């Protein structure tokens, strides 16, 4: 479990297909409704793994929020790790994604910092691998903005204090290679909020 998470979430709620360019790069369609899936808190790890049970993993960098008293109170950086080949097989059969998305070690997080509601629209994220820019995106590119995401989830699911919402990933996802150094950066406008790094094993 990541020691930077002072309150372990009861669950992690993830939004899929929230950036058009990422939808296109995976050959998906824009869904009629917001795509939502869950990860258990046992998915949280501080170690970036390149495989799980012999299956290769792919990375997705995301702006994440921690919920407190029904609000998006804190913001952080998350990595959503995916068994992409297995996910494609499950989607083709119309089956749920949990085996490809909710396994132990499939979620990594930076520390979280308080965020003012007016600043959420100014958030920007980037990921570099071995000092080469790999992903970048911002709230303005999201199909579903954070406030809307919170409202939609809250219509059918109770969000407890400390629960984490992952808001989707911009284009540029790829395979995790052992030894690669991942550096993620979160900004509010031009102000740096968080920098975090992981080395894949």
d(CA 5, CA 21): 31
Element (H, E) at 68: strand 61-68
Q: What local confidence, expressed as pLDDT, does residue 201 receive? A: 98
- From the centroid of its chain, how far is CA 128? 16
Q: What local confidence, expressed as pLDDT, does residue 19 receive? A: 87
The values of phi and psi at residue 62, to 5°, are -140, 145
d(CA 88, CA 91): 5
d(CA 4, CA 179): 23
Question: Tokens 């939609």 belong to which residue?
Answer: 152
Domains of the chain, earliest start first: 12-199 (3.90.850.10)
d(CA 71, CA 151): 10
Q: Give, as one character, the DSSP assignment of residue 120.
A: G
- From the centroid of its chain, how far is CA 111? 14
Q: What local confidence, expressed as pLDDT, does residue 91 receive? A: 85
Mean pLDDT for each consecutive 10-residue tract of the chain (201 residues)? 69 91 70 90 97 97 97 98 94 91 97 97 98 96 95 97 96 96 97 98 98
Q: What local confidence, expressed as pLDDT, does residue 42 receive? A: 96
Q: What local confidence, expressed as pLDDT, does residue 50 receive? A: 98
Question: Tokens 């699911």 belong to which residue?
Answer: 157
pTM: 0.94
Q: What local confidence, expressed as pLDDT, does residue 194 receive? A: 98
Q: What local confidence, expressed as pLDDT, does residue 33 receive? A: 86
């Amino acid at each position: 479990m990541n020691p930077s998470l002072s309150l372990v979430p009861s669950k992690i709620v993830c939004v899929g297909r929230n950036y058009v360019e990422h939808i296109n790069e995976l050959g998906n369609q824009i869904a009629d409704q917001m795509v939502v899936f869950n990860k258990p808190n046992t998915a949280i790890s501080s170690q970036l793994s390149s495989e799980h049970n012999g299956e290769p993993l792919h990375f997705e960098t995301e702006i994440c929020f921690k919920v407190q008293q029904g609000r998006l109170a804190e913001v952080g950086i998350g990595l959503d790790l995916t068994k992409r080949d297995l996910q494609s097989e499950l989607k083709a059969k119309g089956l749920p994604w949990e085996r490809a998305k909710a396994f132990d070690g499939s979620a990594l997080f930076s520390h979280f910092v308080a965020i003012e509601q007016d600043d959420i629209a100014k958030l920007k994220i980037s990921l570099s691998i071995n000092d080469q820019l790999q992903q970048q995106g911002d709230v303005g590119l999201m199909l579903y903005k954070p406030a809307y995401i919170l409202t939609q989830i809250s219509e059918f699911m109770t969000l407890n204090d400390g629960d984490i919402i992952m808001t989707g990933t911009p284009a540029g996802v790829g395979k995790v290679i052992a030894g690669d150094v991942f550096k993620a950066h979160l900004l509010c406008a031009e102000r740096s909020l968080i920098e975090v790094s992981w080395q894949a094993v």
